[in-house]
Amino acid sequence: MVFFMKIGVIAIQGAVSEHVDALRRALAERGVDAEVVAIKHKGIVPKCGGIVIPGGESTTLCRLLAREGIAQEVKDAATRGIPILGTCAGLIVLAKEGDKQVEKTSQELLAIMDTKVNRNAFGRQRDSFEAELKVKILDSPFTGIFIRAPGIVSCGPGVRVLSKLEDLIIAAEQGNVLALAFHPELTGDLRIHQYFLDKIFKNTSNDRETTTI
Ligand code: GLN
């Protein structure tokens, strides 16, 4: 079976190429043919069966997503049940509510997840660190790489908590939307990207063309 499907990585700011690479390797691992595309402007998101919002700087990301008209497209995709993965700044962008810093910078969060986030939850003194994490969807620990990482401080009942660190939620999912405070694309471990691909290929509502060979 060949899926002529696009999986898009928002590429207007931040750690884009690592996600593109990880997705391509994960697709190769399962022998599935799908195209991984960089999303720099409007018009591509509606053609994608899955979308990644990478890490970076969330104020800039939010501003550019809105300016380019991509923000609304991502919201519409979420409404259609298209799987979305947000990592680090992506977790912030997906949230419904932010902290004082978010308010101060008038960040327009996409409000796709019923979550409240703290932008720099682990403090400036610990800019980056690694931690072995128990993640509910995986059967053995995952090495989380945290870089000026945010955290989810609270969430609504529709959100499933997948992992916690120091009382903060650092991995969660709501339906087909997955948010991580760490960077799975910076490890060689593709299990989370595979989990995301599972969601994409299970999702029946995406518009894909299927051909049997
Ligand atoms: N804390 C950053 C922000 O507020 C996100 C950091 C990251 O994505 N590595 O945008």
d(C-alpha 145, C-alpha 127), whole Å? 11
Residue 27 lies in a domain: yes
| Count: domains in the chain | 1
For 2-19, what is each residue's pLDDT tens digit?
Answer: 456 899 999 998 889 999
Q: Is 68 a catalytic residue?
A: no
% of the chain at pLDDT higher than 90:
81
Residue 81 lies in a domain: yes
CA 180 to ligand 1 centroid distance, Å: 12
CATH number at residue 25: 3.40.50.880
Dihedral (Cα; 125, 148, 109, 154), 10-degree rounding: -70
The pTM of the full predicted model, rounded to 2 decimals, is 0.92
Question: What pLDDT does 100 receive?
Answer: 81
The closest-lying atom of ligand 1 relative to the alpha carbon of residue 120 is 1
Residue 118 lies in a domain: yes
Question: What pLDDT band is residue 144 in, cutting at 50, 70 and 90?
Answer: very high
CA 148 to ligand 1 centroid distance, Å: 6
Residue 188 lies in a domain: yes
CA 79 to ligand 1 centroid distance, Å: 25
Residue 102 lies in a domain: yes
- Domain carrying residue 201: 6-212
Question: What pLDDT does 94 receive?
Answer: 97
Residue found by looking up tokens 């499933």 in the block: 160
Question: What pLDDT does 211 receive?
Answer: 40
For 57-89, what is each residue's pLDDT tens digit?
Answer: 999 999 999 999 999 999 999 999 999 999 999
The closest-lying atom of ligand 1 relative to the alpha carbon of residue 119 is 4
- The 3-state secondary structure of 129-148 reads EEEEECCCCCCCCEEEEEEC
Q: Is 183 a catalytic residue?
A: yes
For 167-182, what is each residue's pLDDT tens digit?
Answer: 999 999 999 999 999 9
Residue found by looking up tokens 């509502």 in the block: 205
Residue 33 lies in a domain: yes
Length in residues, the chain: 213
Residue 1 lies in a domain: no
